[in-house]
Amino acid sequence: MTRYIVRRLLQSIPLLFIISFVLFAFTNSLGDPLAVFAESRNRPTAAQREEITRRLGLDKPLLEQYLYWLVGNDWTLVDVRGDGSVMEPGTREGVLRGDFGNSFVTRRPAWSRIEERLPGTLVLMIPSYIITLILAIAIGVYSSVRQYSFIDNLVTGLSFFFYSMPIFFIALMVIYIFGVQFTRWGLPALPIGGTGNGTFLDLQLHMIMPVFCLVAIQLAGYVRFIRSSMIEVLSQDYVRTARAKGLSERIVVQRHAFKNAALPLVTLIGLDLPFLLAGAVVTERIFAWPGMGRLFIESFERADVPVMMAILILLCVMVVVFQILTDVVYTWFDPRIRY
């Protein structure tokens, strides 16, 4: 087992290097990051801009920039003026030592931007994911046990319907009904955007609509998945045996069927969990929610390479880690599997 984990970790290292280089190449060709400085109040002169470019290492070839991004440049000298007259030691420590560089926009460490936004995203994503899972298991199991009943057909139809729906439609719909129309009708309306005035109660009020939308969108896929894997398990011989032994239907469903049907669910959850960190770009945009999705869009619009890279690398690392974790958890749930 340990050997397996170590091998997987070692295998993922070259993968991460390849991904990070490709992403670095892509994000660096997004546009001129110095355009941000041009719109600031004390606009730098052309000479100053060149100096900033050299300090940031943007004049170097891509491969060299990537190297500095990776291992930092504090072990070498930066030619600030471009003519060798002023040589300063570099200040960056590089990603391998936990330094993602400074944001081009805020001039503060890129990682601190993530630390600011991550809680916002998690506050939104974790409750909605938990609610989704609980509801999906309840609905999926119920509808598989009563396959082709009215309820089951209704669930199948509805899950198709929500599965096909863009999240912004649900979001705009609930905002229109509970935000706009309730105000027009003089009913107590739900707040439309933001995170409120800082109290827990207000935060909860602001969370209702985005969490509802996220649940509505995610639920459909999970219900379909659980229903189909339950139906497959329920037709197995050991389920018939369990019934033949005279076990109550509850025990059969809970202990014999669901436990086995939950195995593929573990894989699915392991694949989906890391992406919760990415936040929900569209939902966060509509509800003006300060999360990772909006951070990505903001830094994308201003070509803020360090922040974008920090977000993307965080995601890739989490995906790799969760894949390995899923495999480990899997052996725990299913003792037949050995690595």
Partner 1 sequence: MTTLNDTSKVSSQVATIGEKTYAKGQSNFSRSVRRLRKHRMALFGALLLIGVVLFVLIGSMLITEAQANFNNPANRLRDPSSEHPFGTDVIGRDLLARVVYGGQISLFVGVTAVIVQMLVGTLVGVLAGYMGGVVDSLLMRFAEAMLSIPQLFLALVALRIFADPSRFPDFQFMGRVFSSTLVVIVFVIGLTSWMRVARIVRSVVLALKEQEFVTAARSIGARSYQIILSHILPNCIAPIIVSATLGVASAILLEAYLGFLGLGVRAPTPTWGNIMGEANAYIGSWYYWFFPALFIILTTLGINFFGDGLRDALDPKSLN
Contact residues: partner 1, CB under 8 A: 15, 18-19, 22-23, 26-27, 29-31, 160-161, 163-166, 168-169, 172, 175-176, 179-180, 221, 225, 228, 264, 267-268, 274-275, 278, 281-282, 285-286, 296-297, 300, 308, 312, 315-316, 319-320
Whose Cβ is closer to partner 1: residue 228's or residue 236's?
228
Least distance CB 190 / partner 1 (angstroms): 13
Tally of CA atoms within 13 A in the half-sphere of 97 that contains its CB: 12
Tally of helices (H runs) and strands (E runs) in the chain: 15, 2
Residues 6+ apart with CB under 8 A from 100: 109, 110, 111, 306, 307, 309, 310, 313
Burial class, 104, CB count within 10 angstroms (exposed 0-12 / middle 13-18 / buried 19+): buried
CB of 271 to partner 1, least distance (A): 8
- Considering beta carbons, is residue 73 or 218 the nearer one to partner 1? 218
- Residue 68 and residue 57 in contact, taking contact as beta carbons nearer than 8 Å: yes
Closest distance to partner 1 from the beta carbon of 249 (Å):
27
Min CB(200)–partner 1 separation in Å: 27
Q: What is the smallest separation between the CB atom of 12 and partner 1, expressed in angstroms? A: 10
- Cα distance between residue 296 and residue 311, in whole Å: 7
Residues 6+ apart with CB under 8 A from 215: 128, 131, 132, 135
Please give the helix or strand (H or E) that residue 88 lies within, else none: strand 87-89
29 vs 48 by CB, closer to partner 1: 29
Q: Which residues contact 192 (CB under 8 A, 6 or more apart)?
A: 175, 179, 209, 287
Query: Closest CB to partner 1 among 33 and 72?
Result: 33
Specify the amino acid at residue 49.
R
Residue 65 CA: distances (Å) to CA of 61, 84, 309: 6, 19, 13
Q: Which residue, 37 or 225, is less far from partner 1 as judged by CB?
A: 225
Of 219 and 315, the one with the shorter C-beta distance to partner 1 is 315
Which amino acid does the sequence have at 105? V
Q: Are the C-beta atoms of residues 92 and 68 closer than 8 Å to each other? A: yes
Q: Of the two residues 196 and 264, which places its CB atom closer to partner 1 in the complex?
A: 264
Smallest separation, CB 184 to partner 1 (Å): 9
Q: Which residues, listed in sequence order, are joined to residue 109 by a DSSP beta bridge?
A: 102
Q: How far is the CB of 186 from partner 1 (least distance, A)?
A: 16
| CB 272, min distance to partner 1, A | 9
> Nearer Cβ to partner 1, position 55 or 285?
285
Q: Residue 200's CB: how many other CB atoms inside 10 A?
A: 8
Count the neighbouring beta carbons within 10 Å of the beta carbon of residue 153: 13
Measured from the CB of residue 166, what is the shortest distance to partner 1 in angstroms? 5
Nearer to partner 1, 91 or 235 (CB): 235
What the block records as the tokens of 105 is: 């926009």
Query: What is the Cβ-side half-sphere exposure of residue 106, based on CA atoms within 13 angstroms?
Result: 15
